[in-house]
A and B are shown apart, each in its own frame.
Chain A
Amino acid sequence: MQQLNTQHLRDYPKKPKQVYLFGTCIVDSFFPDTGMDAIELLEREGIEVIYPQGQSCCGQPAYNSGYKDEAKAVAMAQVKQFPLDIPVVVVSGSCGGMMRHHYLDLLGDDPEINNFCQRVFELTEFLVHVLRLKPIDKGPKERVALHTSCAARREMGVHITGNKLISQLANVELVIHDYESECCGFGGTFAVKHADISAAMVADKSKHLVATDVVRYVSADHGCMMNINGALDYQKQSLRGEHIASYLLNRIKGNASKGSL
């Protein structure tokens, strides 16, 4: 896993006319609102969003479990769904990291794969560096926290972009929680295979988020949020996380935001 700091190393393209959206399997079946909001966010910027109906999952669950052949078959099937030479915007840092970095290892460093990997952008990265989005905040004054997934932070180097987007919202105060950069304990099958360690980690993460006394926390990864929101719900806390795509869209439109679970 390369410790790429994409801020420095990546050459960002000019604003394109069209992009692909990779929705991710979790968003597809559990949080489709997020996908719709991401599309609306992009369309508002004058971009046509193509959503190939043949897409499914980036392959990460099997890859992280050591089942490389199975991951490879699924990963290859995804690459085939995105043939045009336009950006592939991914609504998750974790899946984005998989598709941008691990596909080379998994599928081999051939020109088609390499071209695909180069076209992968995490949503907030795309909004900040390619679209140079300056969101106009129409929402009420509020304080929020931001949880950045470890993959977004360390594989995609995009922990700064989420922060930048929230910081640009005039009526929103971004509160940094304790141990902000620490993992929430999700880790895919880790949460099942080592449920007790995962439980200890998410207990701490939710405690630190609750301690900020914010009305909402925001994240660009539904994996982390399924974990943290699930724990908050179990603890009967009112705090919930919301995907940054939905949060931004609601702020721009002046709608009250709602946590997703």
Chain B
Amino acid sequence: MKHIIEEESKYAASAKAFRANVARDLGNEELRSNFRGAMDYLMDKRKGAFSSEDELEVLREQCKLIKQRCLAKLPHLLEQLEGNLEKNGIKVHWAETITQANEIIAQLIAEKKGKSVVKGKSMVSEETALNDYLEERNVECLESDMGEYIVQLAKEHPSHIIMPAIHQNKKQVAKLFADNIEGFEYSTDVDILIQQGREVLRNKFCQADVGISGVNFAVAETGTLCLVENEGNGRMCTTIPDLHIAITGIEKVVEHLSDVPPLLSLLTRSATGQAISTYFNMISSARKPGEKDGPQEVHLVLLDNGRSQAFADEELKQTLQCIRCGACMNHCPVYTRIGGHAYGTVYPGPIGKMVSPHMLGLEATTNLPTASTLCGACGEVCPVKIPIPKILLRLRQESVKPKSQQPQVMKGQGAGRSSVEALIWKVWALVHKSPKIYALSMWGLTRFRFLMPKKLGGWTSVRTAPKPAATTLHERINAKQKKAKQSQQERG
């Protein structure tokens, strides 16, 4: 597996604009209240989904070990998966880059003279910007997941990997539908809104030539594609059109069928607090002779897009344990404040900070790993125990490492390095590793505390500046000990 990262991803530009995006979205009161409300709801749901901390802990450990075992033999499992899928009549395609993935899919559609696609929810297809690519080639793509449909109507991107339209409230959705759906009867009742959206979608399922879906788990030993969903649209996409194309990342392969139940259980409970999703699809072949439904052809596109770069490093490899539940973003105090779009990447939140540097390079994403207090809320809830703060620290190290320093493990190494900051830390280390220089510096800081500026950049935009003490703790203790000695001598 080679290290190829797409230069042309449209997300590189929006990720680079992280700071501007943050400034824009922090100022949007409605957006912030939508996120806060939704995240509070999701955190609550998750909390109620586990009978005890101990049960949760046992499950997390189990699922971590499953994913680690599967990753340990990833190349082998991928080959096994390909062999068993082909045996089942499912054609496998390999894509190193997002462009390759899009080309493969466009070619498959062209061969069938397909003109319209219905899509189940797939973040990997967001990663490849598949809709844009196909629409440029006059293939109509319709998102059939309700959240994705809303986002598509609004000409936006998903702001959350599980709940793509979580940034919109019901009033905003009602307005969007009123502007876009013919014959829409205005309502802000969620059930009525969804019902009207569904009617539009239902007609499209019957007309589409192609169904495109994602994959949650690809089982190597049986050649089975598992798809988790709540709306039934995934089942429609994968059964009604004659051609079904599934797309997923290479890390989604699991070894055994028996690996699926614990992962599924933890996925749905971590994501939405559901014991199980409303639908769980296991696709193991196209329509067989004598069967009345199902697609004539099924294809799987396996995408790398930087994943093998993470795979090559023991620590960063843990990034690939992710089962895309979204719990890390639901619990992230930064995500809750800035929302999903500010990241500018396909995957927002803590998981986005970890995977995006592999997909887009550190040049475009150098601000992401630093945009964390390392509070650890994400790592605490991660169902497969990815040490997220530790990986963010590692990415920070890669980002400030000199560009030429070996070994080079990441594209864009050193992108976040500034010579001024590097010098500051050099001086800082010099001061703090030498007791004499440290004592002198602290003496200076406390004696000249009147020189402490009242304005300290961003710190004092909402806070007053801290004031150094008149004397340091070192000095106070010294003085105390001298005094004690003196009184001892006087007594003695």
| A interface residues with partner B (beta carbon < 8 Å) | 1-3, 23, 25, 27-33, 35-36, 39, 51, 53-57, 59, 61-71, 73-74, 76-77, 81, 105, 150-151, 153-155, 181-183, 185-203, 226-227, 230-231, 233-234, 261
How far is the CB of B362 from the nearest CB of chain A, in Å? Answer: 11
6 A-B pairs closest in CB distance: A195-B458, A187-B373, A230-B463, A66-B396, A150-B375, A183-B375
B399 at the interface (CB under 8 A from A): yes
Which of the candidate stretches B151-159, B261-269, B302-310, B471-479 sits at the interface with the other chain?
Answer: B471-479
Contacts of B463 in A (CB 8 A): 202, 227, 230-231, 233-234
Interchain Cβ contacts under 8 Å between A and B, 13 examples: A29-B469, A32-B472, A53-B474, A56-B433, A57-B432, A151-B376, A154-B379, A183-B377, A187-B373, A189-B370, A191-B458, A195-B461, A197-B334
Q: In the bound complex, how far is the Cα of B46 from the Cα of A209, in angstroms?
A: 26
> Among the listed B379, B389, B446, B464, which residue makes an inter-chain contact with A29, where contact means beta carbons less than 8 Å apart?
B446
Interface residues of B in 412-462 (CB under 8 A from A): 416, 421-422, 425-426, 428-429, 431-435, 438-439, 442, 445-446, 457-462
Contacts of A231 in B (CB 8 A): 462-463
Given A196-B458, A230-B459: A74 touches B372 (CB 8 Å cut-off)? no
Contacts of B181 in A (CB 8 A): none
B200 at the interface (CB under 8 A from A): no
Given A3-B380, A63-B393, A190-B370: A30 touches B466 (CB 8 Å cut-off)? yes
The residue of chain A having its C-beta at the shortest distance from the C-beta of B481 within the complex is A51
Contacts of A55 in B (CB 8 A): 435
Instruction: Determine if A154 and B376 form an interchain contact, defined as CB atoms under 8 angstroms apart.
Output: yes
Contacts of B374 in A (CB 8 A): 1, 64, 150, 187, 190
Q: In the bound complex, how far is the Cα of B125 from the Cα of A222, in angstroms?
A: 46
Contacts of A39 in B (CB 8 A): 477
Instruction: Determine if A150 and B458 form an interchain contact, defined as CB atoms under 8 angstroms apart.
Output: no
B37 at the interface (CB under 8 A from A): no
Q: In the bound complex, how far is the Cα of B477 from the Cα of A115, in angstroms?
A: 26
Interface residues of B in 18-71 (CB under 8 A from A): 22-23, 26, 32
> Among the listed A28, A182, A261, which residue makes an inter-chain contact with B466, where contact means beta carbons less than 8 Å apart?
A261
How far is the CB of A219 from the nearest CB of chain B, in Å? Answer: 14
- Interface of B, secondary structure class, is helix
Interface residues of B in 355-402 (CB under 8 A from A): 367, 370-377, 379-380, 385, 387, 389-390, 393, 396-401
Given A66-B399, A192-B458: A1 touches B379 (CB 8 Å cut-off)? yes
The residue of chain B having its C-beta at the shortest distance from the C-beta of A27 within the complex is B473
- Interface of A, secondary structure class, is helix
Contacts of A29 in B (CB 8 A): 442, 445-446, 468-469, 472-473
Contacts of B416 in A (CB 8 A): 66
Contacts of B446 in A (CB 8 A): 29
The residue of chain A having its C-beta at the shortest distance from the C-beta of B475 within the complex is A32
Q: In the bound complex, how far is the Cα of B472 from the Cα of A57, in angstroms?
A: 13
Q: In the bound complex, how far is the Cα of B399 from the Cα of A261, in angstroms?
A: 35
Instruction: Determine if B464 and A233 form an interchain contact, defined as CB atoms under 8 angstroms apart.
Output: yes
B333 at the interface (CB under 8 A from A): yes
Most buried by A among B379, B429, B478: B429
The residue of chain B having its C-beta at the shortest distance from the C-beta of A105 within the complex is B390
Contacts of A203 in B (CB 8 A): 462
Excluding A28-B473, A29-B446, A32-B476, 13 further A-B contacts by CB distance (< 8 Å) are A23-B474, A25-B432, A29-B442, A32-B472, A35-B476, A36-B477, A56-B438, A66-B397, A77-B435, A151-B376, A154-B375, A195-B459, A197-B337
> Among the listed B367, B433, B438, B464, which residue makes an inter-chain contact with A230, where contact means beta carbons less than 8 Å apart?
B464
Instruction: Determine if A62 and B473 form an interchain contact, defined as CB atoms under 8 angstroms apart.
Output: no
Q: In the bound complex, how far is the Cα of B386 from the Cα of A2, in angstroms?
A: 10
Instruction: Determine if A234 and B464 form an interchain contact, defined as CB atoms under 8 angstroms apart.
Output: yes
B101 at the interface (CB under 8 A from A): no
How far is the CB of B442 from the nearest CB of chain A, in Å? Answer: 5
Contacts of B337 in A (CB 8 A): 197, 200-201
Instruction: Determine if A185 and B432 form an interchain contact, defined as CB atoms under 8 angstroms apart.
Output: no
Contacts of B398 in A (CB 8 A): 66
How far is the CB of A163 from the nearest CB of chain B, in Å? Answer: 17
B465 at the interface (CB under 8 A from A): yes
Q: In the bound complex, how far is the Cα of B398 from the Cα of A72, in angstroms?
A: 16
The residue of chain B having its C-beta at the shortest distance from the C-beta of A150 within the complex is B375
Contacts of A192 in B (CB 8 A): 457-459
> Interface 1/0s, chain B 81-97, versus A by CB < 8 A?
00000000000000000
The residue of chain A having its C-beta at the shortest distance from the C-beta of B394 within the complex is A66
B483 at the interface (CB under 8 A from A): no
> Among the listed A67, A81, A189, which residue makes an inter-chain contact with B422, where contact means beta carbons less than 8 Å apart?
A67
B338 at the interface (CB under 8 A from A): yes
Q: In the bound complex, how far is the Cα of B337 from the Cα of A231, in angstroms?
A: 17
> Among the listed A3, A65, A194, which residue makes an inter-chain contact with B22, where contact means beta carbons less than 8 Å apart?
A194
Instruction: Determine if A62 and B476 form an interchain contact, defined as CB atoms under 8 angstroms apart.
Output: no
How far is the CB of A217 from the nearest CB of chain B, in Å? Answer: 16
Contacts of A196 in B (CB 8 A): 22-23, 26, 458
Given A150-B375, A150-B377: A68 touches B397 (CB 8 Å cut-off)? yes
Contacts of B466 in A (CB 8 A): 30, 226, 230, 261
Instruction: Determine if A187 and B425 form an interchain contact, defined as CB atoms under 8 angstroms apart.
Output: no
Given A67-B400, A230-B464, A230-B465: A28 touches B432 (CB 8 Å cut-off)? no
Instruction: Determine if A53 and B462 form an interchain contact, defined as CB atoms under 8 angstroms apart.
Output: no
Q: In the bound complex, how far is the Cα of B427 from the Cα of A67, in angstroms?
A: 12
How far is the CB of B213 from the nearest CB of chain A, in Å? Answer: 34
> Among the listed A61, A62, A150, which residue makes an inter-chain contact with B373, where contact means beta carbons less than 8 Å apart?
A150
Most buried by A among B333, B433, B438, B463: B463
> Among the listed A51, A68, A73, A200, which residue makes an inter-chain contact with B433, where contact means beta carbons less than 8 Å apart?
A73
B467 at the interface (CB under 8 A from A): yes
Q: In the bound complex, how far is the Cα of B477 from the Cα of A23, in angstroms?
A: 11
Interface residues of B in 328-352 (CB under 8 A from A): 333-334, 337-338
Q: In the bound complex, how far is the Cα of B468 from the Cα of A56, in angstroms?
A: 15
Given A182-B333, A230-B463: A155 touches B376 (CB 8 Å cut-off)? yes
